[in-house]
Amino acid sequence: MSIVASFEIEFLQYLDPSGTLAGEGETPAFARDVRELVELYKLMSFVRVFDGKAIALQRTGKLGTYASCLGMEATHVAIGSALSVDDVFVPFYRDYGTQFYRGVKPREVLLYWGGDERGNNFSGPAHDFAWSVPIATQCLHAAGSALAFKIRKEPRVALATVGDGGTSKGDFYAAINAAGAMTLPLVIVIVNNQYAISTPRRMQTGAQTLAQKGIAAGIESIQVDGNDLIAMRVALDHAVKRARHGHGATLIEALTYRLSDHTTADDARRYRSEDEVAQAWKNEPLKRMRTYLTGMNAWSAMEEKDLLADCSARADAEVNAYLETKAQPLTAMFDYTYAELPLDLERQRAAALALAGGTK
C-alpha cells in the first residue's frame, strides 16, 4: 500500500499568553510598528467596554437579546485591519471589532439588537453584508461575492467569519468546496471560541483541528492563536494577498474563547466549569497586548487609565444616541418587503393601524 497524499496543519503564534514574543523566527514588521499596534489595542479596549455596556442595557430591559464578543476582540480587530475598503466583509453576529474598524457605528449595533432593522442599514462600506443569524449561510454569500469578483476580474476579496459550530453545516462545506474548485478570492475565518451555544468543540466534530476541513476542499488552511493580534494579522495579510492576486482561498481557524455567555439569553454556568473559564481568562487578548506594548515602552498605566475613561465616555455617547433614536412608525413592519403589498398584508396593516388608533 502506498501513500498518495499527506497533509499537515501549521499553528501560528507570535505573542504568547504572557505577552512576550513566542519565537516564530524574525519579528514581523507589523509587530514592530508600535503606533499601529497601539491604535488597534485602543479599538480592542473600546470594543470590550462597549460590550459590557450593551449587556447592562439588556439586563435593564433597554436592549433585546445581545451576543457578546468578550474574549474575541483580537481576532475581530485583526480582520478589520487586514481588509481594504473595497473588499467585502460577510459577518455572523458578534463581529463588532471588525465592523467598528470598517465604520459601523456602535449605536447601529444597539439598534439592531434593540429590534430595529435600521441598525442593519449600517455605516461603513455599503457592499458589506448585514448580520447573519442563520448559521453558516454567510459562507455561501461570501463565496458568491468572491465568484463575482473573479468573473469581473476585480482585485477584491470576500471574507466571511463563522463559528466553530457553523463548520458542521453544509453551507460551510459547500462554500469552501466552491472556493477550492474555482480558485476564488475568499478568506474564511473560523472564530473557534470553543462552544456552539452549549455544545463544546470536542462534541462538534471528530476532526483534530477545524482548519483541516479546508484540506478536502483544496484550499490553504492554518490554525492561528486567535488571542494573538500579531499572529492573526500576519495570517490574514498572507491570506488576503493570496486571494487578491489570484492564488485562491484560505481557511483560518482562530483559536480563542468565549468568555461570556453565548448570548444574554444563555447561562454558560450550566455547561462549563468556573476553573475552565478562569484558565481562559489567563489567555485573554487585551492583557497580552497591553503587556507587550508596555514592554516596548509604548504604553503606560496612565495611558491605560485615560483610555478606559475615553472608551467609557464614547460608549455612553453611543448608548444615549441609541436610546434617543425615535421609534419607527407601526407601518414600518409592512412597508419594506414588497413593492406592492399583498391583499392579506394590506388588511393586516389596516387592522394594526386601527388597533393603534392611527392613520398612517
Which residues, in sequence order, are bridge partners of residue 12? Answer: 224
| Known active-site residue 290 | no
Pick the catalytic residue from 262, 288, 290, 322: 262
C-alpha distances out from residue 134 to 32, 93, 131, 141, 162, Å: 39, 9, 9, 12, 11
Pick the catalytic residue from 118, 247, 269, 271: 271
| Known active-site residue 262 | yes
Alpha-carbon dihedral angle through residues 262, 264, 265, 267, given to the nearest 10 degrees: 60
| Known active-site residue 271 | yes
Pick the catalytic residue from 258, 288, 290, 292: 258
Kindly report the three-state secondary structure assignment for every residue of the chain: CCCCCCCCCCEECCECCCCCECCCCCCCHHHHCHHHHHHHHHHHHHHHHHHHHHHHHHHCCCCCCCCCCCCCHHHHHHHHHHCCCCCEEECCCCCHHHHHHCCCCHHHHHHHHCCCHHHHCCCCCCCCCCCCCCCCHHHHHHHHHHHHHHHHCCCCCEEEEEECHHHHCHHHHHHHHHHHHHCCCEEEEEEECCEECCEEHHHHCCCCCCCCHHHHHCCEEEEEECCCHHHHHHHHHHHHHHHHCCCCCEEEEEECCCCCCCCCCCCHHHCCCHHHHHHHHCCCHHHHHHHHHHHCCCCCHHHHHHHHHHHHHHHHHHHHHHHCCCCCCCCHHHHCCCCCCCHHHHHHHHHHHHHHCCCC
Q: How many Å apart are CA 25 and CA 48, to the nearest integer? A: 31
Angle at 67 between CA 65 and CA 267, to 5 degrees: 75
Q: Which residues are catalytic?
A: 258, 262, 271
